[in-house]
Amino acid sequence: MSDISLLPQVEAFLSRNHGLFIDGGYVESHSSQTLEVINPATGKVIAQVADADPADIDAAVASANRGFKQWSQAAPALRGNVLLKLADLLEQNREELAQIETCQSGKIIQIARAFEVDQAAHFLRYYAGWATKISGQTITPSLPSFAGERYTAFTLREPVGVVVGIVPWNFSTMIAIWKLASALVTGCSIIIKPSEFTPLTILRIAELAIEAGLPAGVLNVLTGSGQVGKGLIEHPGTHKVSFTGSVPTGIAVGRSAMGAGLTRATLELGGKNAAGFLRDMDLDKAVNGIIEAGFLHSGQICAAAERFFVHHSQIEQIMDKLAQRLSKLNIGSPLDERTEFGPVTNRQHQLKLEGFFDTARAENNTIIHGGQRMDRPGCYVEPTVILAKTVNDTLLNEETFGPIATFFPYDSEDELLDLMNNTPYGLSASLWTNDLGKALRMVPAINAGTVWVNMHTMLDPAVPFGGNKSSGVGREFGGAFIEDYTELKSVMIRY
Ligand code: NAD
């Protein structure tokens, strides 16, 4: 087992004095406060970034408004071309970006390459195609005509203005790209506030965006704590927030946005997603499905499943097989290409997960596999399988955002549906069965923004994504994002 060598440009990037990215380049922060970026695989500090202050926020907002004036007037095809060029540049700098991402987040290098870079480029190209396809309608009003006058009307889709994009730590590149692409293709400018844990990759991407031809000020990046996000949302010079993160922060963001004079807000929040396995499912395929749904990127995926419902006649066998599979996982350094399971992204999160292990024990849940931090440097916890005792147990109700699969048996399919819906959240769910007819009849009864059948977690830019109930407001991807990044203007003409 050995780590890949870091590219010289990665070493050089990490050791830079990182400023804030405002008006097309790096500027020194007005603040003397900095934040340490820590590699969760080693516990070592790999970089320092600025913790922006109110004067930095003012500067970024002023720049973004200047950028908006220019960019909102740019020809749609030009906007699309910049996104296409940026996609090319992500691919040309694939290894550098993937390594920076792995160093800051502990994401295994294969996932950093495939999702943070390749998928991000794929999303950019999809969004680029929308640039020339955003349109309004023509309408014939039915107003009375007294002297032969006639009427016509049309609608315009106009960019909403300066967008604040607030990003979590789990997929810091891909989620930033979703927000950036949605804003740029609709003619908005954007200020991205990355997570304090993973601020680096988007700083490098901002440089690539300028190389791709994006005018200065259309994309600014302000690093810092949650207060920077709050300051941006509440600033009178910003017009929309696109937030991805936890439910409690999402509610605070929604309040800030409404309090700031109805700043538009879309909220992509957490969940407690369910996977339901019907009895006809082959047990080995079910175990593969559980690993896909619950353990990819150590379960640190908003759409990952955390509640697993299996028929009572099969639950013991499935949990045994799953425990065997997990005990063979190659757990190790995220920079080793053979590693299948790496650390979680930060110490706070590791401690939170350890708290969930304690709670499971205190509530007399059965820990089938794992349930401990790992005895090695860095933020490692064991992949864990838990059998809950009652539907009210904490592990069946609170989002852990980690590699913890909690099981509960069901008897009938009606009971399965009730169990799956028994949550205030509604981001995603999956059904696993060979009986497609049955699955299609059950899908409408599941209250979630996305329901997968025989798959889980995979997102595609053409398929809208977002949460029902407490999992959020609004949709990303498909054509659905356009409504959230534009205002509809009606024009009526008498002639
Ligand atoms: P978090 O809510 O703690 O932080 C998210 C971002 O919000 C960070 O950049 C943070 O600095 C910022 N922030 C904190 N307080 C703020 C405030 N008052 N105003 C404005 N911004 C503020 O979330 P996290 O721990 O970074 O990420 C994990 C959570 O994100 C999980 O709950 C997960 O389910 C969710 N998530 C959801 C999706 C989705 O698409 N639905 C995707 C990824 C992650």
The upper half-sphere exposure of residue 262, i.e. CA atoms within 13 Å in the direction of its Cβ, equals: 1
CA of 123 from ligand 1 middle (Å) equals 21
Rounded CA gap, 381 and 355, in Å? 11
Q: Which residues contact 69 (CB under 8 A, 6 or more apart)?
A: none
Asked if the model's pLDDT at residue 152 lies above 90, the reply is yes
DSSP letter for 477, please: S
Q: Is 244 in the pocket of ligand 1 (CB under 6 A)?
A: yes
In whole angstroms, how far apart are CA 201 and each of 88, 116, 491?
16, 10, 43
CA of 244 from ligand 1 middle (Å) equals 5
CA of 248 from ligand 1 middle (Å) equals 9
DSSP letter for 213, please: T
**Per-chain mean pLDDT for the chain:** 97
Atom of ligand 1 nearest to the CA of 248: 2
Catalytic residues: 268, 302
CATH 2.30.60.10 corresponds to the domain 8-270+472-492? no
Q: Do domains 8-270+472-492 and 273-460 have the same CATH topology?
A: no
0.95 exceeded by pTM? yes
Rounded CA gap, 371 and 404, in Å? 8
| Residues 62-112 pLDDT 10s | 999 999 999 999 999 999 999 999 999 999 999 999 999 999 999 999 999
Q: Is 428 in the pocket of ligand 1 (CB under 6 A)?
A: no
Atom of ligand 1 nearest to the CA of 225: 11
Atom of ligand 1 nearest to the CA of 224: 11
Tell me the domain boundaries of the chain.
8-270+472-492, 273-460
> What is the residue with the minimal CA distance to atom 40 of ligand 1?
268
Q: Is 169 in the pocket of ligand 1 (CB under 6 A)?
A: yes
**Could you give the 3-state DSSP secondary structure of residue 115?**
helix
Q: Is 107 in the pocket of ligand 1 (CB under 6 A)?
A: no
Q: Is 103 in the pocket of ligand 1 (CB under 6 A)?
A: no
Atom of ligand 1 nearest to the CA of 465: 40
CATH of domain 273-460: 3.40.309.10
Amino acid at 36: E
| Residues 248-288 pLDDT 10s | 999 999 999 999 999 999 999 999 999 999 999 999 999 99
Amino acid at 296: L
Burial category of 414 from C-beta neighbours within 10 Å (exposed 0-12, middle 13-18, buried 19 and up)? exposed
